Amino acid sequence: MSLRAMHRSAVIMVWRFFYPCPKADKYLRDDWDIPYPTAILGRLIRLSQVFKRQGIDFGIGFSPNNIPSPSRLIQNGF
């Protein structure tokens, strides 16, 4: 189902939130520590504005792969 179709479903079902967690999105999984490219980020921002105008909270969930230990993250300054 496309994000546009999901938006329509959310509006029809009177949901007040929409938090997709797309497992196929490499920036939310394997490349979680790499910023989104500007073009993709711009589309997500526009999509969030569509939801906001409809009174629906929008967020993105992520479930990263290959997370280093907390001590390694601290050593690398993350």
What does the pLDDT profile of the chain (78 residues) look like in tens digits? 566 666 666 555 566 888 888 888 888 888 888 888 999 999 989 989 988 998 888 888 888 887 767 776 677 666
Task: Determine the pLDDT at residue 62.
Answer: 80
Sequence spans of domains, the chain: 3-75
58 in helix, strand or coil?
strand
Task: Determine the pLDDT at residue 31.
Answer: 87
Which residue is listed with tokens 């009177």? 14
Task: Determine the pLDDT at residue 77.
Answer: 65
- Host H or E run for residue 44: helix 38-53
Q: How many CA atoms lie within 13 A of 71 on its CB side?
A: 0
Instruction: Quote the tokens at residue 17.
Output: 């939130």
Which residue is listed with tokens 């029809």? 12
pTM of the model: 0.62
